[in-house]
Structure 1
């Protein structure tokens, strides 16, 4: 004798597992820790400040 399977529940369980697998893949591809994000932001700010400091004409001169 075989067991009765509720197809609606089985479909929901499979969809949930598929979404969890996709989320795991996205976390692995795009996930970064808070420290990595902070490091990248600080590096970008430092580079921007360096470039701004070496401009010949400053953009804030014309402002009153």
Structure 2
């Protein structure tokens, strides 16, 4: 026989787990040092320059 499930507790547990995973994502995305952010910004600018330099004028 199956166990009885309290839907309120199951919903709260699911919401809590979703919040934890969102927090982990935000830590990875926003929890960087100033130097790491600068390096990432420089790499993005380099990619943009490379792509703009490869465009053909028509």
TM range (shorter): 0.5 to 0.7
Cα RMSD of the aligned pairs, angstroms, is: 1.8
Q: Which has the higher contact order (CA 8 A, sep 6+)?
A: 1
Aligned residues: 36
2:22 maps to 1:22: yes
Q: Give the structure-1-normalised TM-score.
A: 0.50
Q: Which aligned pairs between 1:31-42 and structure 2 lie closer than 5 A?
A: 31-32=31-32, 36-37=33-34
Where do 5+ consecutive residues of structure 2 fail to align? 36-58
Where do 5+ consecutive residues of structure 1 fail to align? 40-64
Residue 27 of structure 1, CA deviation: 0.3
SS of aligned partner of 1:23: helix
More helix by share: 2
Rounded to whole Å, the distance in 2 between the matches of 1:2 and 1:17 is 23
* Structure 1 residue runs of 4 or more that deviate by more than 4 Å after TM superposition: none
Q: Give the structure-2-normalised TM-score.
A: 0.55
